[in-house]
Amino acid sequence: MNDLITILGVTATGKTKLAVELTGILDGEIISADSRQVYKGMDIGSGKDLAEYTFNGKPVDYHLIDIVEPGYEYNVYEFNRDFYKIYNDIIARGKMPIMCGGSGLYLDSIISGYELKKVPVNKFLRKNLEEFNDEELISKLKSYGPLHNVTDIRDRERLVRAIEIAEFERQNSEEEEREPVNSINFGIKFDRETIRNRITDRLHERMENGLIKEVEGLLDGGLTPEQLMFYGLEYKYITMHITGELGFDEMFAQLNIAIHQYAKKQMTWYRRMEKKGVKIHWIDGDINLDHKVTVVMGILRNYQG
């Protein structure tokens, strides 16, 4: 058996259900690789679906969900630190770790073995950047490569920090990679029209299940609109609706488009992983759950053999 099983896919593909089934069959535990499910109270918008974490009527163990307060800016460095601590504990107890999620950077950092360091403050660089206006800072950040997080360009402080991190990574590039975890990776995939329909249907369902009330509760709990908008997608557009910037229909339409665009970016990230040599076994999303499990178990047996 490999050291790690990974279940990935764009949003609304049913990753959690498959991961839970495999966890029950293989005596495993799930490690979430979702950049927003780490936050307490952000349940509907981040798609935690905690009711799904049961197998034959019994709960399955999961990790890296509900671990920090909303308002905190959790990052990939912290995810790696927390992942390896949990991963090593699961392995030590003789269980099967199953990573599940859609956040490409988080997934790739484990599968490809990023070496992530705590990036120190570079006072000399920051002093030099004081002379740049915001447009010049954005241009400089883009010169390091594709943007991993568009929120980095929304305010000057984040721009400067992103450049600081990029410069540190460039200067320490020879030390960035370590031996990756030996993972066998499965992706759930639908055709483009089907995934569009699933995203829209799920958004309607989340609205009916209280998504707006969830965001209102977070605002009432002390978060500022700016803090909530940092988390993007549902939390951004619904905050804009609550604060009167968007009417409901306009908010829904813009949010729906934004989620579709996010799904495309997720798929682009997975293709980039494949180009780097990461093997992903793609499973047809239209087959039923039992059939998906059968496909996965057959591939796992081949690896064992």
Q: What is the mean pLDDT of residues 117-132?
A: 81
Considering 133, 156, 175, which residue would you say is the last residue of a domain? Answer: 175
Please tell me the distance from the alpha carbon of residue 287 to that of residue 277, in angstroms, as a whole number.
27
**Which residues, at least 6 apart from 148, have a Cβ–Cβ distance to it below 8 Å?**
105
Number of domains making up the chain:
2
Residues 215 and 239 in one domain: yes
Please tell me the distance from the alpha carbon of residue 36 to that of residue 101, in angstroms, as a whole number.
10
Residues 15 and 61 in one domain: yes
pLDDT over threshold 90, residue 10: yes
Considering 175, 199, 218, which residue would you say is the last residue of a domain? Answer: 175
Q: What is the mean pLDDT of the chain?
A: 91
pLDDT over threshold 80, residue 175: no
Q: What is the pLDDT of residue 72?
A: 86
> Are 104 and 256 a contacting pair, CB within 8 Å?
no
Q: What is the pLDDT of residue 61?
A: 98
Q: What is the mean pLDDT of residues 139-159?
A: 74
Q: What is the pLDDT of residue 47?
A: 95
pLDDT in tens, 127-136: 889 888 988 8
Split at pLDDT 50, 70, 90, the class of 120 is: confident
Considering 132, 159, 175, which residue would you say is the last residue of a domain? Answer: 175
Split at pLDDT 50, 70, 90, the class of 171 is: low
Residues 57 and 156 in one domain: no
pLDDT over threshold 80, residue 76: yes
Residues 180 and 219 in one domain: yes
Residues 281 and 141 in one domain: no
Q: What is the CATH number of the domain that holds 28?
A: 3.40.50.300
Split at pLDDT 50, 70, 90, the class of 101 is: very high
pTM of the model: 0.82
Residues 210 and 153 in one domain: no
Residues 210 and 154 in one domain: no
> Are 262 and 45 a contacting pair, CB within 8 Å?
no
> Are 203 and 249 a contacting pair, CB within 8 Å?
no
Residues 106 and 235 in one domain: yes
Residue 280, sorted as left (phi over 0), alpha (psi -120 to 50) or beta, turns out to be beta
Share of the chain above pLDDT 90, in %: 71
What backbone phi and psi angles, to 5 degrees, belong to 189?
-135, 135
Q: Which of 45, 78, 275, 295 is nearest to 267 (CA)?
A: 275
pLDDT in tens, 13-40: 999 999 999 999 999 999 999 999 999 9
- Facing residues of 59 across strands? 54
Q: Which of 295, 203, 274 is nearest to 18 (CA)?
A: 295
pLDDT over threshold 70, residue 176: no
CB atoms within 10 A of CB 104: 21
Residues 45 and 55 in one domain: yes
Residues 141 and 222 in one domain: no
Q: What is the pLDDT of residue 122?
A: 83
Q: What is the pLDDT of residue 197?
A: 98
Residues 89 and 188 in one domain: yes
Residue 127: give the domain boundaries: 123-175
> Are 295 and 288 a contacting pair, CB within 8 Å?
no
What backbone phi and psi angles, to 5 degrees, belong to 273?
-60, -45
Residues 240 and 168 in one domain: no
pLDDT in tens, 214-251: 999 999 999 999 999 989 999 999 999 999 999 999 99
